[in-house]
Structure 1
Amino acid sequence: MFKKKLAFVALAAVFAFTACGNGGKDSSKSKEESDVVKLGNSGPLTGPLSVYGITTENGIKLAIDEINKAGGINGKNVEWTGLDDKGEITEAVTNYNKLMQEGANAILGGVPSKPTLAMAESAAKDEIVYITPTGTQANITEGKNNVFRVAFTDPFQGEVLANFSAKKLAAKKVAVLRNQSSDYSMGVADVYKKKAEEFGMEVVADEAYGDNDTDFKAQLTKIKSSNPDVLFIPDYYEKVALIVSQVRASGINAIIVGADGWDGVLSVLDKSAFKDIEGSYFANQFSLQDPSEKTQKFIKDYKEKYGEDPSTFAAEGYDTVYLYKQAVEEAKTTKWDEVVKALKAIKFEGITGSFSFDENNNPRKTAKIIKIDKGQYTFDSEVGAD
């Protein structure tokens, strides 16, 4: 009898957790009757990647403040829960489960690609509306009907930057220096290398380093001997800041090109090192020099609220909330399946550009090319993949 009671209690607990944690159709329907819209995310709010998580969340909270002041979403106030995962997969999944248990209407999920992918895989099973502001790894959305992204993908950046290297920089020979410990860096580098060859450029070197490396002399010596016109370094800004001075010290004069992880590199470089990164380019989805009224208002409001200029991550977070708002208003409900349908058909105009989604729920958009000129980020051009 005691064992039977234990089994019954355990079964009841599993049922309760599933009904609450998975947030399936019944949970979504019950949330429709609430007078609030619950949104949440897990991101790195502490640790080495915290600048990305904090600025993403700042952009999200600015959008929510604006929306609530204007009457909410379909007349409902928006509540926000931001949880810290330090950029770690295990903590991200734990936070995802907590948000599900709390009855989230949608998760604006993840910041770095690895924890974002882990949460996206859970979200695909639960069928909740899941939109990552910044996750760029290609397989985050692939095969997941309800998972979307605002950022362009790693492969897309590789294509755009190869196009830019060939047509704008007129490069004949390119070298690649990649972080073999990073799916992000590897993903961008693989596509860049493939597209570079398709554009008729010669890939004269392809060198790799690890996350914990601080001395790149061996790799750079090989790259120097190949005499490239462009050196492509797709990594996050902290690692780029370590590398660029060593690039110039090694005698490499190539133009350095990077991906959107470069955003913020000037903030961690000593001004004496600005000369080492002068004239470099990187792809991004946002520029402080964008003259549009909507963008300039966002920049002004963000600076007034947080005391600093917004990063691309902040702009992506901001756009993600308004993207969700538009989808809910077009669907006239917060029911997950209906919002997913609305997102698939949406035409959205945001701070990071105007876009609709392709068959893999990736945004079709161009990239903004940012040039580092006299210690400042300057808008250079807008470039597509072809």
Structure 2
Amino acid sequence: MSSSEAYVDVAGRSVRISSPDKVYYPDSGITKLDLATYYAAVAESVFRALANRPVALNRFPDGLGGSSFYMKHAPKGLPDWVETARVTFPSGRTGDEICVTEPATVAWAVQMGALELHPWPVRRSDTDHPDELRVDLDPQPGTGFPQAVEAAHEAKALFDELGMTPYVKTTGGRGLHLLVRIEPRWSFIEARRAVIAFARELERRRPDLLTTSWWKEERGERVFVDFNQMARDRMLAAAYSTRARPHALVSMPVRWAELPDVEPDDFTPRTVPSLLVKNGDAHADIDEAAFTLDALLEASARDERDHGLGDLPYPPDFPKMPGEPKRVQPSKAKNAGKPAT
């Protein structure tokens, strides 16, 4: 073996890593080989988050600080053991994305320069019906991680009332992600409407803390419940994925009882493997039960019928969706009606 390559064993498969000494995270000195070795160490847990899911890769071929791009279409020349899944994009076009069918696929993604792994909330067997409900708690300027923690506990209380079990993880930044396994019986549109109904109820309970406003100018110093992370082709970083940020922070599953004492900066490829050995995977039983969206969809219908609260804006790269309000920033909409001076 030459010094220009190394091999990492991931769950029984040897994965070649070229240029193993290439630095991927300059601020922390984490190399390409370091990152592949990290994923080998957490193989079982990261595979639980990614198993049989199509995945978009945020690739930095020259490491953080170099050029980057999202790879949503599987490239040519894949190893014969790296598999794909057919997905439909918002435009209606279809494509084949990398699908994680074994833990070694993640090490192959590192070989391709992937610093972030973004799985769809679906499985390969049915890519049109999510099996995971996702709630993204995004602190706005003037707020931070403590407010995200407070918001997460409000969300957990509501999920408890609904008879649903949420799992929480850090984002690798200031926010938190809540994940709930659901029965794969509903479309992306229905799952998104369920999250909108959930978010609106949170906002009603804690308008001082939480907001559903898509427009930044209306959010204020509150935590935004990003309902559009449940839209088709919008993806959160996977549990145990690194993020493309200077210190290689990891999106880390945590237990609810631990959440008040969590420091997101503590989770990196250098610390997570030993923490996992010591504490176990906080999401180890996430696949044991799947829940229904019936109550949330009933709440969505009730919001529209009784309060006139229909759909909310989609991301700007989406085609106009049925029932969607105008995608006009409120301040611009007001100015549009003023006479010219």
**Normalising to structure 2: TM-score of the pair?**
0.30
Structure showing greater Rg: 1
Q: Where is the helix percentage greater, Structure 1 or Structure 2? A: 1
**Normalising to structure 1: TM-score of the pair?**
0.27
